[in-house]
Amino acid sequence: LSRTLDHVGLFARSVNDIALLTEQLIGYDEADPDTRPRATIPFVNIAGEEPPLEPMFAFVKTPMWERTDDDTREGFAELMDHLAKLAEEVELFPSAVEAWDQHQTIMSAEMALNLEREYDSGRERLSEKLRKQIEQGRGVRAIDYQRALARLDPIHESFVELFEQRYDAIMTPAAPGPAPKGLDSTGDPSFCTLWTLCGMPAVSLPLMQAKNGLPIGVQLVGPRGGDARLLRTARWLMARVAAE
C-alpha cells in the first residue's frame, strides 16, 4: 500500500523466537532494494544476553493517550510504579506531534498510486473505507506529499538524543486497549503511527491484562538500527515482570 511506510512484522510466542525469525529475514537479498550488503546481525546472541546495566525506559503517552481505556491507564500506572527509578515520563518533542498528519498524507497519497488500477477498473468492488482512503489520497497535492517526506528525518532526529543520553527504550501502549471483538477490524493503530513513520523498531509485549481477560500490549521502541538491542531490553522486561 505504501512504499515508504510498509514494513515486515512478526508474531511469536517469545522474544527469542522473534530474534530467530528476524535473523533469517534481515539478510541481504539482491532482489530486494530495501536490504543492504552488510554482515548479518547475530540477533539470537544479542537478544539472549543480559544488558550491561539495568535498562532505562522513557514512558511516552503521545497525543493519542486520551483514547486509552481505563484498563490500559491503570496497567501503565502499575508498571511505572513497578519499574520505579528505571522509568520516567517524557513529553514528545513539538516536531513529533505533527507525525500523525504527515503519516496520513504519505499513506493516502501512496495508497492512491499503488491501488490506482484496482480503483479505476472496479472501485465498486472495494470497501467503502478503502475507496475513501484512495479518494483522499488522490486529492493530496504533490507539494504537501514532498513536505511530509522531508519531515521524516527531522522527526526521527528528535529522538536520537533521547536514546544517546539516557534511555534504552521508549515505552508506550501498543493500542488504546485490548483487541476488538470479531474480525471486522484489527484495532486502532494510532499508537504505532509515530514509530512506523520514523522507521524505528518496535515490539509489543503482552505484559498486562484487561478485565475481560484479553492481553494489553506494552510497546517498546528503539532507535533505527537498534533492533537487536531492543529485543534484549524486551526480554529483560518480560523476565522482570514475570519475576514479581
Output the nine-digit C-alpha cell for 97.
506531534
Among candidate residues 209, 203, 208, the one with its CA nearest the CA of residue 170: 203
Phi, psi of 12 (to 5 degrees): -155, 170
On whether residue 5 sits in a domain, the answer given is no
DSSP annotation of 201: -
Same-domain pairing of 176 and 128: no
Determine the 3-state secondary structure of 39 from DSSP: coil
pLDDT, residue 93, reads 85
CA angle 42, 172, 34 (to 5 degrees): 40
pLDDT, residue 36, reads 82
Total structural domains within the chain: 2
The span from the CA of 37 to the CA of 187, in Å, is: 36
On whether residue 211 sits in a domain, the answer given is yes
The span from the CA of 80 to the CA of 75, in Å, is: 9
Same-domain pairing of 156 and 236: yes
pLDDT, residue 94, reads 83
- Is the Cβ–Cβ distance between 192 and 221 less than 8 Å? no
On whether residue 7 sits in a domain, the answer given is no
Same-domain pairing of 91 and 113: no
pLDDT, residue 83, reads 96
pLDDT, residue 51, reads 95
On whether residue 116 sits in a domain, the answer given is yes
The span from the CA of 170 to the CA of 59, in Å, is: 6
Output the nine-digit C-alpha cell for 37.
550488503
Structural domain for 47, as ranges: 15-95+152-243
On whether residue 56 sits in a domain, the answer given is yes
Q: What is the CA radius of gyration of the chain?
A: 19
Q: What is the pLDDT along the chain (244 residues), one digit of tens a residue?
A: 898 999 889 999 999 999 999 998 888 888 988 788 888 889 999 999 999 999 999 999 999 999 999 999 999 999 999 999 999 999 988 888 889 999 999 999 999 999 999 999 999 999 999 999 999 999 999 999 999 999 999 998 889 888 988 899 999 999 999 988 877 777 899 999 999 999 999 999 999 999 999 999 999 999 999 999 999 999 999 999 998 7
The span from the CA of 104 to the CA of 136, in Å, is: 10
On whether residue 190 sits in a domain, the answer given is yes
Same-domain pairing of 185 and 143: no
